[in-house]
Structure 1
Amino acid sequence: MALAGTEFYPPATRRLRLGIVGGGRGALVGQWHWTGARLSNRWELVAGALSSDPETARASGRDWLLAEDRIYSDYREMARAEAARPDGIEAVAICTPNWTHRPIAEAFMDHGIDIICDKPMTLSREDCEALEQRQRETGLVFAITHPYPYHPMARQAHEMVKAGAIGTVRQALVEYAQDWATEPDDPDSKSLAWRRDPARIGRASATGDIGTHALQMLEFVSGQPVERLRADFHVCGAPKAMEDTAFISLRLANGAPAAMWITQAAPGNYCALRFRIYGDKGGLEWDQEFPETLRYTPLNQPEQTVVRGHGAGVVPSAERMVLLPRGHGESLSDAWGSLYREIAIAVTARREGSAVPEGLLSLPDITTGSRGVRFINSAADSHEAGGVWVNLR
């Protein structure tokens, strides 16, 4: 049985050279990137500015077995030095806090290095416009790290909706629920300090942190972009400076209603990104905490459970993300690997001037990133105006 990346994707001729900014010791997001790159078997991590603190940067670089002369504490120095090397990095993963994404991306784009950026892409609409303009001028790949649609059963749902399995989308619900913000914030946590500071995180906390994932999943699976929304922000856990919960009503492009619930203060929920999408011919339900199965309820027929694996109704675009046979559980790290595999294919094609086969990739790009930032700011616009309907702009 062929594994993903062999018969389903163009074969790699070599590993691409990857650098990382941020994500050093104690930063979980850096581990996600590193694990995804390694699992894809299409990247070699060769350089990093893993912290702005020189001592932490050196220690982290040694942890990751980087050569001493390719461990940096200044991303600008890294961009200049790597661009000057014949074996310099070909793409950089930006794993830093929100307010730093734009200047870091611009520094590497100025040197012709492709971008892999965490979400939210920036803080403001103006930042989005600046990065989009720079990307158009350079033609560089600008990928956004939304790994959840790279779960095979999320991709299966996308393809089933597109094929008409549930008919016309009539309503949808999406939620992302966690519980870590139920208790008081740790006063010594640097991460929580910036997550509660509008100057550094933007106009929303939980809505930007996990709401952007929920929006991207809803629009990807339903095939319907959100056009209007009304939002109410709340603090449902211990008192804090910014919202830990949001209730958002949505109107999709085809006029269908949808609802989004975002919370980091719901005890017993850990990483519960879930969607339920219903049309005039059936419905689909999926839960990221139980990613191996997709519930399909065709109207007036027995419900079906689609199980991750090869064959048995799994469509080719979902199959190519399957690494193991049924019964051997896959996880979010495997989804990160599939995301990094598609990024590598896009970067290789750009650098070689070759075409990517139509329909092969569904890569979240700079447009996806910009849409997430506009969603955050539109939700803040609505909340600050008393929960009025606004256009997503």
Structure 2
Amino acid sequence: MGLLGSEVYPQAERRLRLGMVGGGRGAVVGQWHASGARLSDRWEIVAGALSADPETARRSGRDWMLSDDRIYTDYSGMARAEAARGDGIDAVAICTPNFTHRPIAEAFMRAGIDVICDKPITTTLEDARALAELARETGLVFAVTHPYAFHPMVRQAREMIAQDAVGEITQFTIEYAQDWATEPDDPDFKAVQWRRDPAKVGRASATGDIGTHALHLLEFVTGRRVARLRADFHVCGAPKAMEDTAFLNLRLDNDAPGAMWLTQAAPGNYCGLRLRVYGQKGGLEWDQEKPEYLRYTPLNEPERMIVRGHGAGVLPAAERMVLLPRGHGEALSDAWANLYREIAIAVEARRAGKALPDGLVALPGIDDGVRGVAFVHAAADSNEAGGVWTDL
């Protein structure tokens, strides 16, 4: 059968202590972080400033069964207090709106605490580069939460392309389609309201929200960088202040052409992140809504469906991420667990002063975060100039 995923990563000496900023009552993203951290069996959530509203922060902390003295009502106080404790947090997860990421991350990095940050990491390139410089100065881990890269079949696709299974890449498509923004925004839903405010979300709405995931998945799997793009932003759902849909043409750094479609206003689409990559020798297709399957179409040969599990063509880099045997469904929560497992391994290694073996983890870091912000700005520049080609 092969080894279970947890058996091929280094054994942990203890569960790391995790703190969270944001992610309290009503915040779905906080539950994703929490479930992934717990399922990884590498973390214990011990502290939090779970809301900007003090009463909500206190209530959320009690919901999460945190000790009263580790329920905080502001992140700066949390950073100072946790850094001073002998049993302080090893890392903090930042699950807050985009415009707050830089000051929160800076507060914890200056306190010597590793950072796990949602994307986009900032609203401006200046802020993103400032965080990157601080990460380099401190030597701390700065992980960015792109969980889709932690599905075993995504890792399988990445390894197959690296091993020349499709040959030189000649074309591709990447899409992320949802439908929740088709109808008018709910004025009482805070998570939607800040996504329509450029001062809080940045220069793009859907493009930053889901486009950064699409870009990371494309570059992660192909091992190529997007060199140029042109973009058109649209409102295809109910009227709103910023785009809910974007169409982009892309060129990889080997000049291979491709297309990206991003929308949150396509009825009947739920979380349709789909990647197709084609080369001189074959193609690969992966769909996030059917994450356990990878379609491989070698040229002039029968197509092959690779199924998440142990053996049967699953490569070691993917197999170590497998949590259950075939037939027992894995899902996004398992991908989050794999993400938090690799973050833990990186944090453990940094704290022990040890270098990680090559290829053990493939963790999105600060440079990936800066790249995502650069992508948003390039797309916005292109759109504002009438859809002209723009370097990334």
CA distance in 2, matches of 1:193, 1:326: 41
Report the counterpart of residue 288 of structure 2 in structure 1.
288
Alpha-carbon contact 2:6-2:323 (below 8 Å) kept: no
CA distance in 2, matches of 1:119, 1:76: 21
CA distance in 1, matches of 2:337, 2:270: 22
Q: Deviation per CA, 1:249-287: give whole Å up to 9, x if none.
A: 001001100110000001111001000000000000010
Does the alignment pair 1:270 with 2:289?
Answer: no
Alpha-carbon contact 2:274-2:287 (below 8 Å) kept: yes
Alpha-carbon contact 2:22-2:51 (below 8 Å) kept: yes
SS in 1 for 2:6: coil
Report the counterpart of residue 183 of structure 2 in structure 1.
183
Task: Give the deviation of 1:2 after TM superposition.
Answer: 3.6
SS in 1 for 2:44: strand
Matches within 5 A, 1:71-110: 71-110=71-110
Q: Deviation per CA, 1:207-245: give whole Å up to 9, x if none.
A: 000000000000011111001000000000111100000
SS in 2 for 1:191: helix
Q: Deviation per CA, 1:275-303: give whole Å up to 9, x if none.
A: 00000000000100011100000000000
TM-score by length of 2: 0.99
Aligned AA (1:21): V
Report the counterpart of residue 374 of structure 1 in structure 2.
374
Task: Give the deviation of 1:128 after TM superposition.
Answer: 1.2
TM-score by length of 1: 0.99
Report the counterpart of residue 5 of structure 2 in structure 1.
4
Matches within 5 A, 1:302-313: 302-313=302-313
Report the counterpart of residue 155 of structure 1 in structure 2.
155
The answer for unaligned runs of 5 or more in structure 2 is none
CA distance in 1, matches of 2:139, 2:188: 42
Aligned AA (2:304): Q
Aligned AA (1:58): R
Number of aligned residues = 391
Aligned AA (2:291): P
Moved over 2 A (4+): none
Report the counterpart of residue 20 of structure 2 in structure 1.
20
Report the counterpart of residue 331 of structure 1 in structure 2.
331
CA distance in 1, matches of 2:368, 2:190: 28
Report the counterpart of residue 349 of structure 1 in structure 2.
349
CA distance in 2, matches of 1:75, 1:315: 42
Alpha-carbon contact 2:3-2:310 (below 8 Å) kept: no
Aligned AA (1:16): L
Percent of pairs with identical residues: 73
Report the counterpart of residue 203 of structure 2 in structure 1.
203
CA distance in 1, matches of 2:269, 2:152: 22
Q: Deviation per CA, 1:80-137: give whole Å up to 9, x if none.
A: 0000000000100000000000000000000000000000000111011111110110
Q: Deviation per CA, 1:18-72: give whole Å up to 9, x if none.
A: 0000000000000000000001101111100001111111110111110000000
CA RMSD in angstroms, aligned pairs only: 0.6
The answer for unaligned runs of 5 or more in structure 1 is none
